[in-house]
Chains A and B, each alone.
Chain A
Amino acid sequence: MSTITSPTSGLAGPANPTPPRARDKESISLAGKRKARQARGLVMPALFFSIALTQIPFLVTIYFSFLDWNQLRPNEIKFTGLSNYVTVFTGSEFFSSLVATVTITGSAVILSLLFGLLFAVLLDRKFFGQGVVRTLMITPFLIMPAAAALIWKWSMLDANVGMVNVGLKLIGLPPVAWNTDFPALTIIILLTWQYTPFMMLILLAGLQSQSREVLEAASVDGAGPWRTFQWMTLPHLRQYIEIAVLLGGIMLLQVFDPIAIMTKGTGGTKTLSYLLYERAFIGLDIGQAAAFGVVTVIITIVVATIALRTLFRVFMEGGTR
Protein backbone atom coordinates (compact mmCIF):
# COMPACT_ATOMS: atom_id res chain seq x y z
CA MET A 1 0.00 0.00 0.00
CA SER A 2 1.50 3.27 -0.97
CA THR A 3 0.60 5.96 1.46
CA ILE A 4 2.43 8.93 2.86
CA THR A 5 5.50 8.28 0.76
CA SER A 6 5.40 11.39 -1.39
CA PRO A 7 8.28 13.59 -0.23
CA THR A 8 6.41 16.77 -1.01
CA SER A 9 7.05 20.08 0.60
CA GLY A 10 5.00 18.62 3.41
CA LEU A 11 2.88 21.57 4.33
CA ALA A 12 0.02 22.80 2.24
CA GLY A 13 0.36 26.34 1.11
CA PRO A 14 -2.20 29.08 1.68
CA ALA A 15 -5.31 28.47 -0.34
CA ASN A 16 -5.78 31.57 -2.35
CA PRO A 17 -3.42 31.56 -5.29
CA THR A 18 -2.92 35.31 -5.38
CA PRO A 19 -2.53 37.42 -2.27
CA PRO A 20 -5.96 38.39 -0.92
CA ARG A 21 -5.12 42.08 -1.06
CA ALA A 22 -4.49 42.11 -4.77
CA ARG A 23 -7.75 40.27 -5.29
CA ASP A 24 -9.69 42.74 -3.19
CA LYS A 25 -8.54 45.54 -5.46
CA GLU A 26 -9.50 43.61 -8.56
CA SER A 27 -12.95 43.05 -7.19
CA ILE A 28 -13.75 46.74 -7.43
CA SER A 29 -14.71 46.14 -11.05
CA LEU A 30 -18.32 45.26 -11.77
CA ALA A 31 -17.63 41.66 -12.71
CA GLY A 32 -15.55 41.40 -9.59
CA LYS A 33 -18.43 42.62 -7.49
CA ARG A 34 -20.74 40.05 -8.97
CA LYS A 35 -18.19 37.37 -8.29
CA ALA A 36 -17.78 38.45 -4.71
CA ARG A 37 -21.53 38.28 -4.26
CA GLN A 38 -21.55 34.82 -5.78
CA ALA A 39 -18.77 33.75 -3.45
CA ARG A 40 -20.62 35.01 -0.42
CA GLY A 41 -23.67 33.12 -1.62
CA LEU A 42 -21.62 29.95 -1.71
CA VAL A 43 -20.25 30.32 1.81
CA MET A 44 -23.48 31.51 3.43
CA PRO A 45 -25.30 28.17 3.70
CA ALA A 46 -22.37 26.56 5.50
CA LEU A 47 -21.87 29.61 7.69
CA PHE A 48 -25.54 29.84 8.61
CA PHE A 49 -25.78 26.12 9.36
CA SER A 50 -22.71 26.29 11.57
CA ILE A 51 -23.93 29.30 13.50
CA ALA A 52 -27.41 27.87 14.03
CA LEU A 53 -26.19 24.55 15.36
CA THR A 54 -23.16 25.55 17.41
CA GLN A 55 -23.04 29.25 18.25
CA ILE A 56 -26.67 29.81 19.19
CA PRO A 57 -26.77 26.85 21.60
CA PHE A 58 -23.61 28.20 23.21
CA LEU A 59 -25.25 31.59 23.75
CA VAL A 60 -28.17 29.78 25.36
CA THR A 61 -25.70 27.92 27.58
CA ILE A 62 -24.34 31.26 28.77
CA TYR A 63 -27.91 32.39 29.53
CA PHE A 64 -28.64 29.15 31.42
CA SER A 65 -25.51 29.65 33.51
CA PHE A 66 -27.13 32.70 35.15
CA LEU A 67 -30.21 30.75 36.20
CA ASP A 68 -31.04 28.88 39.36
CA TRP A 69 -32.58 25.91 37.63
CA ASN A 70 -32.71 22.40 39.03
CA GLN A 71 -34.68 19.82 37.09
CA LEU A 72 -35.97 18.44 40.37
CA ARG A 73 -37.82 21.73 40.87
CA PRO A 74 -38.73 22.59 37.28
CA ASN A 75 -41.17 25.32 38.26
CA GLU A 76 -38.73 27.39 40.29
CA ILE A 77 -36.44 28.79 37.64
CA LYS A 78 -35.09 32.17 38.61
CA PHE A 79 -32.25 34.51 37.71
CA THR A 80 -29.33 34.28 40.14
CA GLY A 81 -26.63 36.36 38.53
CA LEU A 82 -23.15 35.01 39.07
CA SER A 83 -23.91 32.66 41.93
CA ASN A 84 -23.41 29.55 39.76
CA TYR A 85 -19.93 30.80 38.90
CA VAL A 86 -19.23 31.46 42.57
CA THR A 87 -20.16 27.85 43.27
CA VAL A 88 -17.89 26.67 40.45
CA PHE A 89 -14.85 28.56 41.70
CA THR A 90 -15.35 28.11 45.45
CA GLY A 91 -16.26 24.42 45.37
CA SER A 92 -13.42 21.92 45.44
CA GLU A 93 -14.84 19.90 42.57
CA PHE A 94 -13.89 22.27 39.81
CA PHE A 95 -10.22 22.41 40.70
CA SER A 96 -9.84 18.70 41.27
CA SER A 97 -11.55 18.23 37.93
CA LEU A 98 -9.17 20.69 36.31
CA VAL A 99 -6.25 18.75 37.78
CA ALA A 100 -7.72 15.47 36.48
CA THR A 101 -8.19 16.98 33.02
CA VAL A 102 -4.65 18.36 32.87
CA THR A 103 -3.12 15.14 34.24
CA ILE A 104 -4.96 12.84 31.87
CA THR A 105 -4.67 15.03 28.78
CA GLY A 106 -1.05 15.94 29.50
CA SER A 107 0.14 12.39 30.16
CA ALA A 108 -1.69 11.01 27.16
CA VAL A 109 -0.31 13.71 24.85
CA ILE A 110 3.28 13.27 26.05
CA LEU A 111 3.21 9.47 26.02
CA SER A 112 1.52 9.17 22.65
CA LEU A 113 3.94 11.73 21.22
CA LEU A 114 6.97 9.75 22.45
CA PHE A 115 5.60 6.42 21.20
CA GLY A 116 4.47 8.09 18.00
CA LEU A 117 7.97 9.45 17.41
CA LEU A 118 9.52 6.05 18.06
CA PHE A 119 7.09 4.31 15.71
CA ALA A 120 7.55 6.96 13.03
CA VAL A 121 11.34 6.58 13.16
CA LEU A 122 11.02 2.79 12.97
CA LEU A 123 8.70 3.06 9.97
CA ASP A 124 10.84 5.60 8.13
CA ARG A 125 13.12 2.99 6.58
CA LYS A 126 12.75 0.31 3.97
CA PHE A 127 12.15 -3.12 5.46
CA PHE A 128 10.24 -6.32 4.91
CA GLY A 129 6.51 -5.83 5.44
CA GLN A 130 6.67 -2.08 5.92
CA GLY A 131 3.14 -1.52 4.62
CA VAL A 132 1.66 -4.23 6.81
CA VAL A 133 3.41 -2.89 9.91
CA ARG A 134 2.13 0.62 9.27
CA THR A 135 -1.36 -0.72 8.75
CA LEU A 136 -1.20 -2.61 12.05
CA MET A 137 0.10 0.46 13.83
CA ILE A 138 -2.58 2.88 12.66
CA THR A 139 -5.44 0.55 13.56
CA PRO A 140 -5.94 1.63 17.22
CA PHE A 141 -6.85 5.12 16.06
CA LEU A 142 -9.59 3.72 13.83
CA ILE A 143 -11.16 1.63 16.57
CA MET A 144 -14.41 3.11 17.85
CA PRO A 145 -13.52 4.69 21.24
CA ALA A 146 -16.46 3.03 22.98
CA ALA A 147 -15.36 -0.41 21.75
CA ALA A 148 -11.73 0.30 22.63
CA ALA A 149 -12.69 1.34 26.16
CA LEU A 150 -14.77 -1.80 26.70
CA ILE A 151 -12.16 -4.16 25.26
CA TRP A 152 -9.35 -2.60 27.30
CA LYS A 153 -11.33 -2.56 30.51
CA TRP A 154 -12.66 -6.12 30.34
CA SER A 155 -10.41 -8.05 27.99
CA MET A 156 -7.03 -6.45 28.65
CA LEU A 157 -6.94 -4.85 32.10
CA ASP A 158 -9.39 -6.98 34.10
CA ALA A 159 -7.69 -8.30 37.25
CA ASN A 160 -8.80 -11.90 36.71
CA VAL A 161 -9.19 -12.57 33.01
CA GLY A 162 -7.30 -9.59 31.52
CA MET A 163 -4.50 -10.33 29.09
CA VAL A 164 -2.17 -7.75 30.62
CA ASN A 165 -2.05 -9.69 33.87
CA VAL A 166 -1.57 -12.91 31.91
CA GLY A 167 1.42 -11.22 30.29
CA LEU A 168 2.76 -10.06 33.66
CA LYS A 169 2.52 -13.61 34.98
CA LEU A 170 4.49 -14.88 31.99
CA ILE A 171 7.41 -12.70 32.97
CA GLY A 172 6.98 -13.54 36.65
CA LEU A 173 5.29 -10.39 37.95
CA PRO A 174 2.31 -10.34 40.34
CA PRO A 175 -1.12 -9.42 38.98
CA VAL A 176 -2.34 -5.81 39.26
CA ALA A 177 -5.93 -4.73 39.93
CA TRP A 178 -5.77 -2.07 37.22
CA ASN A 179 -9.41 -1.00 37.16
CA THR A 180 -9.86 -0.66 40.91
CA ASP A 181 -6.40 0.48 42.03
CA PHE A 182 -5.27 2.64 39.10
CA PRO A 183 -8.33 4.02 37.30
CA ALA A 184 -6.57 7.15 36.02
CA LEU A 185 -3.73 5.02 34.67
CA THR A 186 -6.16 2.79 32.75
CA ILE A 187 -7.59 5.86 31.01
CA ILE A 188 -4.10 7.14 30.18
CA ILE A 189 -3.07 3.72 28.83
CA LEU A 190 -6.14 3.56 26.62
CA LEU A 191 -5.77 7.12 25.31
CA THR A 192 -2.06 6.63 24.64
CA TRP A 193 -2.87 3.49 22.69
CA GLN A 194 -5.50 5.28 20.63
CA TYR A 195 -3.57 8.48 19.93
CA THR A 196 -0.09 7.09 19.27
CA PRO A 197 -1.04 6.30 15.64
CA PHE A 198 -2.31 9.84 15.17
CA MET A 199 0.99 11.32 16.36
CA MET A 200 2.90 8.72 14.38
CA LEU A 201 1.18 9.51 11.08
CA ILE A 202 1.85 13.24 11.32
CA LEU A 203 5.47 12.77 12.42
CA LEU A 204 6.03 10.18 9.70
CA ALA A 205 4.84 12.68 7.11
CA GLY A 206 7.40 15.08 8.60
CA LEU A 207 10.23 12.54 8.50
CA GLN A 208 9.47 11.64 4.91
CA SER A 209 9.56 15.26 3.84
CA GLN A 210 13.21 15.57 4.89
CA SER A 211 15.67 16.01 2.10
CA ARG A 212 17.55 12.75 1.59
CA GLU A 213 20.56 14.54 0.16
CA VAL A 214 21.11 16.59 3.28
CA LEU A 215 20.91 13.49 5.45
CA GLU A 216 23.34 11.64 3.20
CA ALA A 217 25.71 14.57 3.23
CA ALA A 218 25.61 14.55 7.01
CA SER A 219 26.42 10.86 7.08
CA VAL A 220 29.29 11.33 4.59
CA ASP A 221 30.63 14.09 6.81
CA GLY A 222 30.81 11.53 9.59
CA ALA A 223 27.81 12.48 11.72
CA GLY A 224 26.44 9.42 13.52
CA PRO A 225 22.77 8.52 13.29
CA TRP A 226 22.02 9.91 16.75
CA ARG A 227 23.72 13.24 16.08
CA THR A 228 22.00 13.52 12.71
CA PHE A 229 18.68 12.86 14.40
CA GLN A 230 19.32 15.35 17.18
CA TRP A 231 20.69 18.18 15.07
CA MET A 232 18.90 17.77 11.77
CA THR A 233 15.79 15.64 12.09
CA LEU A 234 14.39 17.02 15.34
CA PRO A 235 14.58 20.68 14.28
CA HIS A 236 12.98 19.75 10.97
CA LEU A 237 10.22 17.91 12.81
CA ARG A 238 9.47 20.80 15.12
CA GLN A 239 6.46 22.14 13.32
CA TYR A 240 5.08 18.67 12.76
CA ILE A 241 5.43 18.03 16.49
CA GLU A 242 3.58 21.28 17.15
CA ILE A 243 0.69 20.34 14.87
CA ALA A 244 0.50 16.84 16.33
CA VAL A 245 0.54 18.06 19.93
CA LEU A 246 -1.99 20.83 19.37
CA LEU A 247 -4.52 18.86 17.36
CA GLY A 248 -4.09 15.79 19.55
CA GLY A 249 -4.30 17.90 22.68
CA ILE A 250 -7.54 19.52 21.62
CA MET A 251 -9.13 16.18 20.81
CA LEU A 252 -7.92 14.71 24.10
CA LEU A 253 -9.13 17.70 26.09
CA GLN A 254 -12.69 16.90 25.08
CA VAL A 255 -12.43 13.19 25.73
CA PHE A 256 -15.50 11.66 27.35
CA ASP A 257 -16.17 8.12 26.16
CA PRO A 258 -13.52 6.13 28.07
CA ILE A 259 -14.31 7.95 31.29
CA ALA A 260 -18.03 7.29 31.02
CA ILE A 261 -17.37 3.66 30.13
CA MET A 262 -14.33 2.68 32.20
CA THR A 263 -14.32 4.66 35.44
CA LYS A 264 -17.47 6.81 35.65
CA GLY A 265 -15.30 9.62 36.94
CA THR A 266 -13.92 7.76 39.95
CA GLY A 267 -10.32 7.78 41.17
CA GLY A 268 -9.14 11.11 39.81
CA THR A 269 -10.66 10.71 36.35
CA LYS A 270 -13.48 13.22 36.63
CA THR A 271 -12.49 15.49 33.78
CA LEU A 272 -14.33 18.72 33.02
CA SER A 273 -16.47 17.21 30.29
CA TYR A 274 -17.50 14.36 32.57
CA LEU A 275 -18.19 16.71 35.49
CA LEU A 276 -20.50 18.76 33.30
CA TYR A 277 -22.32 15.65 32.15
CA GLU A 278 -22.73 14.49 35.73
CA ARG A 279 -24.08 17.87 36.89
CA ALA A 280 -26.57 18.21 34.06
CA PHE A 281 -27.77 14.69 33.42
CA ILE A 282 -27.38 12.99 36.81
CA GLY A 283 -27.45 15.90 39.25
CA LEU A 284 -30.04 17.68 37.07
CA ASP A 285 -28.64 21.06 38.11
CA ILE A 286 -28.88 22.82 34.76
CA GLY A 287 -27.70 26.26 35.90
CA GLN A 288 -24.55 24.95 37.53
CA ALA A 289 -23.81 22.53 34.70
CA ALA A 290 -24.11 25.41 32.25
CA ALA A 291 -21.64 27.44 34.32
CA PHE A 292 -19.21 24.49 34.24
CA GLY A 293 -19.77 24.36 30.50
CA VAL A 294 -18.98 28.03 30.00
CA VAL A 295 -15.80 27.79 32.08
CA THR A 296 -14.75 24.66 30.16
CA VAL A 297 -15.28 26.49 26.90
CA ILE A 298 -13.18 29.43 28.07
CA ILE A 299 -10.33 27.11 29.00
CA THR A 300 -10.62 25.33 25.67
CA ILE A 301 -10.69 28.62 23.80
CA VAL A 302 -7.46 29.71 25.47
CA VAL A 303 -5.77 26.48 24.44
CA ALA A 304 -7.37 26.48 21.01
CA THR A 305 -6.38 30.06 20.26
CA ILE A 306 -2.76 29.21 20.88
CA ALA A 307 -3.27 26.14 18.71
CA LEU A 308 -4.89 28.09 15.89
CA ARG A 309 -2.19 30.75 15.92
CA THR A 310 0.40 28.03 15.45
CA LEU A 311 -1.65 26.31 12.79
CA PHE A 312 -2.07 29.54 10.85
CA ARG A 313 1.60 30.38 11.16
CA VAL A 314 2.47 26.96 9.81
CA PHE A 315 0.05 27.40 6.93
CA MET A 316 1.40 30.81 6.02
CA GLU A 317 5.06 29.82 6.25
CA GLY A 318 4.38 26.51 4.59
CA GLY A 319 3.95 27.24 0.94
CA THR A 320 4.74 29.87 -1.57
CA ARG A 321 2.34 28.72 -4.22
Chain B
Amino acid sequence: MRKLRGSLITVATWVIALLFFFPVAWMVFTSFKTENAAAAIPPTIFTPLSFDQYAAVFDRGMASYLLNSLMASVGSTLIVLLLAIPGAYALSVRPIKRIQDVLFFFISTRFLPAAASIIPVFFILKTLGALDNINAMILLYAAMNLPIAIWMMRSFFSEVPTEIIEAAQIDGANLRTEMTRVVLPILLPGIAAVALICFIFSWNEYFLATLLTTFDARTTPPFLASFVDGRGQFLAVLSAASTLAVMPVVVAGWLAQKQLVRGLAMGAVK
Protein backbone atom coordinates (compact mmCIF):
# COMPACT_ATOMS: atom_id res chain seq x y z
CA MET B 1 0.00 0.00 0.00
CA ARG B 2 2.75 2.37 0.98
CA LYS B 3 4.76 1.33 -2.06
CA LEU B 4 1.76 1.89 -4.32
CA ARG B 5 1.25 5.40 -3.00
CA GLY B 6 4.93 6.10 -3.53
CA SER B 7 4.82 5.09 -7.16
CA LEU B 8 1.62 7.08 -7.69
CA ILE B 9 3.40 10.19 -6.40
CA THR B 10 6.35 9.43 -8.67
CA VAL B 11 4.05 9.16 -11.68
CA ALA B 12 2.28 12.39 -10.73
CA THR B 13 5.65 14.14 -10.36
CA TRP B 14 6.71 13.01 -13.79
CA VAL B 15 3.42 14.13 -15.37
CA ILE B 16 3.68 17.57 -13.76
CA ALA B 17 7.32 17.93 -14.81
CA LEU B 18 6.55 16.99 -18.40
CA LEU B 19 3.58 19.37 -18.57
CA PHE B 20 5.71 22.13 -17.11
CA PHE B 21 8.47 21.46 -19.62
CA PHE B 22 6.06 21.09 -22.53
CA PRO B 23 6.38 24.66 -23.92
CA VAL B 24 10.14 24.21 -24.25
CA ALA B 25 9.84 20.78 -25.86
CA TRP B 26 7.16 22.07 -28.21
CA MET B 27 9.34 25.02 -29.21
CA VAL B 28 12.20 22.69 -30.16
CA PHE B 29 9.83 20.31 -31.98
CA THR B 30 8.13 23.14 -33.90
CA SER B 31 11.51 24.51 -34.99
CA PHE B 32 12.01 21.41 -37.13
CA LYS B 33 8.64 21.64 -38.87
CA THR B 34 7.58 23.50 -41.99
CA GLU B 35 5.50 26.63 -41.44
CA ASN B 36 2.36 24.88 -42.69
CA ALA B 37 2.85 21.92 -40.40
CA ALA B 38 3.57 24.25 -37.47
CA ALA B 39 0.29 26.10 -37.93
CA ALA B 40 -1.84 23.01 -38.57
CA ILE B 41 -4.76 22.36 -36.25
CA PRO B 42 -5.04 19.73 -34.90
CA PRO B 43 -1.27 19.82 -34.41
CA THR B 44 0.80 17.47 -36.50
CA ILE B 45 2.89 14.97 -34.62
CA PHE B 46 4.13 12.79 -37.44
CA THR B 47 5.56 15.20 -39.92
CA PRO B 48 8.77 15.15 -41.92
CA LEU B 49 11.37 17.14 -40.03
CA SER B 50 13.67 19.62 -41.69
CA PHE B 51 16.40 22.11 -40.93
CA ASP B 52 14.91 24.69 -43.32
CA GLN B 53 13.89 27.05 -40.53
CA TYR B 54 17.41 27.13 -39.16
CA ALA B 55 18.71 28.00 -42.62
CA ALA B 56 16.09 30.75 -42.82
CA VAL B 57 17.10 32.11 -39.43
CA PHE B 58 20.73 32.42 -40.47
CA ASP B 59 19.65 33.98 -43.78
CA ARG B 60 18.08 36.74 -41.72
CA GLY B 61 21.48 37.41 -40.17
CA MET B 62 21.02 35.77 -36.77
CA ALA B 63 24.72 34.88 -36.60
CA SER B 64 25.73 38.52 -36.11
CA TYR B 65 23.13 39.01 -33.35
CA LEU B 66 24.32 35.88 -31.57
CA LEU B 67 27.87 37.15 -31.91
CA ASN B 68 26.88 40.50 -30.37
CA SER B 69 25.20 38.68 -27.49
CA LEU B 70 28.31 36.60 -26.99
CA MET B 71 30.57 39.66 -26.98
CA ALA B 72 28.33 41.57 -24.57
CA SER B 73 28.00 38.60 -22.21
CA VAL B 74 31.62 37.46 -22.20
CA GLY B 75 33.02 40.99 -22.15
CA SER B 76 30.85 42.14 -19.27
CA THR B 77 31.49 38.92 -17.34
CA LEU B 78 35.25 39.43 -17.62
CA ILE B 79 35.00 43.01 -16.37
CA VAL B 80 32.79 41.89 -13.50
CA LEU B 81 35.26 39.20 -12.44
CA LEU B 82 38.15 41.66 -12.65
CA LEU B 83 36.37 44.09 -10.32
CA ALA B 84 34.49 41.67 -8.10
CA ILE B 85 37.27 39.29 -7.12
CA PRO B 86 39.54 41.88 -5.45
CA GLY B 87 36.52 43.78 -4.13
CA ALA B 88 34.95 40.76 -2.50
CA TYR B 89 38.33 39.65 -1.20
CA ALA B 90 38.80 42.94 0.59
CA LEU B 91 35.27 42.83 1.92
CA SER B 92 35.57 39.37 3.41
CA VAL B 93 39.14 38.47 4.25
CA ARG B 94 40.88 41.80 4.75
CA PRO B 95 40.13 44.14 7.59
CA ILE B 96 38.07 47.02 6.34
CA LYS B 97 35.83 49.38 8.21
CA ARG B 98 32.13 49.62 7.56
CA ILE B 99 31.93 46.38 5.60
CA GLN B 100 28.19 46.33 5.99
CA ASP B 101 27.75 49.83 4.57
CA VAL B 102 29.73 49.00 1.47
CA LEU B 103 27.90 45.73 0.97
CA PHE B 104 24.57 47.40 1.53
CA PHE B 105 25.46 49.99 -1.07
CA PHE B 106 26.43 47.39 -3.65
CA ILE B 107 23.33 45.34 -3.25
CA SER B 108 21.07 48.38 -3.28
CA THR B 109 22.36 49.31 -6.72
CA ARG B 110 21.16 45.93 -7.94
CA PHE B 111 17.69 46.70 -6.65
CA LEU B 112 17.64 50.09 -8.31
CA PRO B 113 15.38 49.54 -11.28
CA ALA B 114 16.82 50.20 -14.72
CA ALA B 115 14.12 52.87 -14.85
CA ALA B 116 16.25 54.92 -12.49
CA SER B 117 19.02 55.48 -14.95
CA ILE B 118 17.82 54.62 -18.43
CA ILE B 119 16.93 58.17 -19.52
CA PRO B 120 20.27 59.82 -18.63
CA VAL B 121 22.17 56.78 -19.90
CA PHE B 122 20.35 57.12 -23.21
CA PHE B 123 21.23 60.81 -23.54
CA ILE B 124 24.81 60.35 -22.38
CA LEU B 125 25.36 57.60 -24.93
CA LYS B 126 23.63 59.69 -27.60
CA THR B 127 25.89 62.67 -26.85
CA LEU B 128 28.98 60.48 -26.95
CA GLY B 129 27.80 58.88 -30.17
CA ALA B 130 27.83 55.54 -28.37
CA LEU B 131 24.27 54.41 -29.03
CA ASP B 132 24.21 51.06 -30.78
CA ASN B 133 27.72 50.35 -29.57
CA ILE B 134 28.64 46.96 -28.18
CA ASN B 135 31.29 48.36 -25.84
CA ALA B 136 28.69 50.55 -24.17
CA MET B 137 26.51 47.47 -23.66
CA ILE B 138 29.46 45.59 -22.16
CA LEU B 139 30.01 48.35 -19.59
CA LEU B 140 26.31 48.61 -18.72
CA TYR B 141 25.93 44.87 -18.26
CA ALA B 142 29.03 44.83 -16.11
CA ALA B 143 27.52 47.52 -13.89
CA MET B 144 24.24 45.59 -13.79
CA ASN B 145 25.90 42.36 -12.62
CA LEU B 146 28.66 43.69 -10.38
CA PRO B 147 26.59 43.78 -7.15
CA ILE B 148 25.42 40.18 -7.42
CA ALA B 149 28.93 39.11 -8.29
CA ILE B 150 30.37 40.82 -5.23
CA TRP B 151 27.80 39.23 -2.97
CA MET B 152 28.31 35.80 -4.42
CA MET B 153 32.10 36.05 -4.38
CA ARG B 154 32.03 37.24 -0.80
CA SER B 155 30.03 34.19 0.20
CA PHE B 156 32.60 31.94 -1.51
CA PHE B 157 35.53 33.80 0.05
CA SER B 158 34.02 33.27 3.48
CA GLU B 159 34.56 29.55 2.96
CA VAL B 160 38.30 29.90 2.48
CA PRO B 161 39.77 28.78 5.81
CA THR B 162 41.34 31.77 7.57
CA GLU B 163 44.24 29.59 8.67
CA ILE B 164 45.36 29.12 5.08
CA ILE B 165 45.54 32.83 4.45
CA GLU B 166 47.24 33.53 7.76
CA ALA B 167 49.77 30.80 7.06
CA ALA B 168 50.49 32.39 3.72
CA GLN B 169 50.94 35.76 5.37
CA ILE B 170 53.32 34.38 7.98
CA ASP B 171 55.33 32.79 5.19
CA GLY B 172 55.84 36.31 4.00
CA ALA B 173 53.68 36.04 0.95
CA ASN B 174 52.75 39.46 -0.31
CA LEU B 175 49.29 40.38 -1.48
CA ARG B 176 49.67 39.22 -5.04
CA THR B 177 51.12 35.80 -4.26
CA GLU B 178 48.60 35.41 -1.49
CA MET B 179 45.82 35.99 -4.03
CA THR B 180 47.14 34.00 -6.97
CA ARG B 181 48.83 31.08 -5.23
CA VAL B 182 46.61 30.51 -2.22
CA VAL B 183 43.18 31.99 -2.57
CA LEU B 184 42.37 31.75 -6.27
CA PRO B 185 42.77 27.96 -6.65
CA ILE B 186 40.37 27.35 -3.76
CA LEU B 187 37.93 29.78 -5.30
CA LEU B 188 37.84 28.47 -8.85
CA PRO B 189 34.45 26.73 -8.56
CA GLY B 190 33.00 29.86 -7.00
CA ILE B 191 34.40 32.04 -9.75
CA ALA B 192 32.85 29.71 -12.31
CA ALA B 193 29.48 30.09 -10.60
CA VAL B 194 29.71 33.88 -10.61
CA ALA B 195 30.71 33.87 -14.26
CA LEU B 196 27.75 31.64 -15.11
CA ILE B 197 25.21 33.88 -13.40
CA CYS B 198 26.63 37.04 -14.98
CA PHE B 199 26.65 35.38 -18.37
CA ILE B 200 23.01 34.29 -18.00
CA PHE B 201 21.76 37.71 -16.96
CA SER B 202 23.63 39.50 -19.76
CA TRP B 203 22.68 36.98 -22.41
CA ASN B 204 18.98 37.23 -21.55
CA GLU B 205 18.82 41.02 -21.04
CA TYR B 206 16.16 42.75 -23.13
CA PHE B 207 15.26 46.21 -21.74
CA LEU B 208 18.61 47.98 -22.26
CA ALA B 209 19.29 46.09 -25.47
CA THR B 210 16.03 47.10 -27.07
CA LEU B 211 16.40 50.77 -26.14
CA LEU B 212 20.10 51.32 -26.68
CA THR B 213 20.87 49.23 -29.76
CA THR B 214 19.43 49.28 -33.27
CA PHE B 215 21.51 47.23 -35.67
CA ASP B 216 25.30 47.10 -35.26
CA ALA B 217 25.23 46.18 -31.60
CA ARG B 218 21.78 44.55 -31.54
CA THR B 219 21.76 41.48 -29.33
CA THR B 220 19.60 38.40 -29.70
CA PRO B 221 16.63 39.11 -27.37
CA PRO B 222 15.27 42.18 -29.20
CA PHE B 223 16.05 40.53 -32.54
CA LEU B 224 13.71 37.62 -31.74
CA ALA B 225 10.64 39.84 -31.79
CA SER B 226 11.36 40.72 -35.42
CA PHE B 227 10.21 37.25 -36.45
CA VAL B 228 6.65 38.15 -35.54
CA ASP B 229 5.12 39.90 -38.49
CA GLY B 230 1.68 40.27 -39.94
CA ARG B 231 2.70 38.75 -43.24
CA GLY B 232 2.01 35.06 -43.16
CA GLN B 233 3.18 32.32 -40.87
CA PHE B 234 6.10 32.60 -38.53
CA LEU B 235 5.66 29.97 -35.81
CA ALA B 236 8.31 27.56 -37.06
CA VAL B 237 10.95 30.15 -37.87
CA LEU B 238 10.29 31.93 -34.54
CA SER B 239 10.71 28.61 -32.76
CA ALA B 240 13.99 27.94 -34.54
CA ALA B 241 15.37 31.37 -33.66
CA SER B 242 14.20 31.02 -30.05
CA THR B 243 15.72 27.55 -29.74
CA LEU B 244 19.09 28.88 -30.89
CA ALA B 245 18.80 31.89 -28.61
CA VAL B 246 18.03 29.95 -25.43
CA MET B 247 20.38 27.01 -26.06
CA PRO B 248 23.64 28.34 -24.54
CA VAL B 249 22.09 29.41 -21.26
CA VAL B 250 19.88 26.34 -20.90
CA VAL B 251 22.78 23.96 -21.42
CA ALA B 252 25.06 25.93 -19.10
CA GLY B 253 22.32 26.06 -16.45
CA TRP B 254 21.67 22.33 -16.70
CA LEU B 255 25.34 21.55 -16.21
CA ALA B 256 25.80 23.88 -13.24
CA GLN B 257 22.58 23.51 -11.26
CA LYS B 258 24.21 23.68 -7.87
CA GLN B 259 26.10 26.89 -8.56
CA LEU B 260 22.95 28.31 -10.08
CA VAL B 261 20.98 27.98 -6.85
CA ARG B 262 23.59 29.73 -4.79
CA GLY B 263 24.01 32.47 -7.31
CA LEU B 264 20.31 33.13 -7.61
CA ALA B 265 19.90 33.44 -3.87
CA MET B 266 22.95 35.74 -3.81
CA GLY B 267 24.80 33.32 -1.61
CA ALA B 268 22.08 33.27 1.03
CA VAL B 269 21.40 29.60 0.33
CA LYS B 270 24.21 27.09 0.09
Residues of A within 8 A of B (CB): 1-4, 6, 8-18, 20, 23-24, 26-27, 32, 35-36, 38-43, 45-47, 49-50, 53-58, 60-61, 64, 119, 122-123, 125, 127-129, 133-148, 150-152, 154-156, 160-161, 163, 166, 193, 196, 198, 201-202, 205-206, 240, 243-244, 247, 250, 253-254, 256-257, 260-261, 272-273, 276-277, 280-281, 286, 289-290, 292-294, 296-297, 300-301, 304, 307-308, 311-312, 314-315, 318, 321
Contacts and interface: CB of A to CB of B under 8 A. Distances in A.
Contacts of A300: 111-113
A125 B92 CA distance: 36
Contacts of B253: 138-139, 141-142
B225 A150 contact: yes
B23 A152 contact: yes
Given A139-B21, A139-B24, A20 B270 contact: no
Given A38-B94, A57-B124, A142-B249, A293 B119 contact: yes
Given A42-B90, A143-B24, 9 more contacts: A49-B146, A61-B117, A136-B21, A142-B249, A142-B250, A144-B242, A146-B204, A150-B242, A256-B206
Contacts of A138: 253-254, 257, 260
B200 A142 contact: yes
B83 interface: yes
Nearest to B154: A15
A144 B235 contact: no
Report the 9 A-B pairs with minimum CB-CB distance, sorted nearest first.
A57-B117, A53-B143, A46-B87, A60-B120, A42-B90, A39-B94, A15-B92, A304-B111, A146-B221
Contact of A308 (B83, B107, B118): B107
Nearest to B21: A136
A260 B109 CA distance: 24
The majority secondary structure among interface residues of chain A is: helix
A161 B95 CA distance: 62
Contact of B261 (A39, A205, A280, A307): A205
Given A138-B257, A254-B113, A300-B112, A129 B14 contact: yes
Contact of B39 (A32, A61, A161): A161
Nearest to A307: B111
A43 B115 contact: no
B42 to A, nearest CB: 7
Assign chain B's interface to a size class: 35 or more
A64 B120 contact: yes
Contacts, number: 340
B113 A154 contact: no
A10 B270 CA distance: 5
Interface of B: 6, 9-10, 12-14, 16-18, 20-24, 26-27, 30, 38-39, 41-43, 83-84, 86-87, 89-97, 99-100, 102, 104-109, 111-122, 124, 139-140, 142-143, 146-147, 150, 154-155, 157-158, 162, 175, 200, 203-204, 206-207, 210-211, 220-222, 224-225, 227-228, 234-235, 238-239, 242, 245-246, 249-250, 253-254, 257-258, 260-261, 264-270
Contacts of A144: 203-204, 206, 220-221, 224, 242, 245-246, 249
A58 B102 contact: no
B115 A193 contact: no
Nearest to A144: B204
A89 B200 CA distance: 37
Nearest to B257: A3
B158 A321 contact: yes
B258 A4 contact: yes
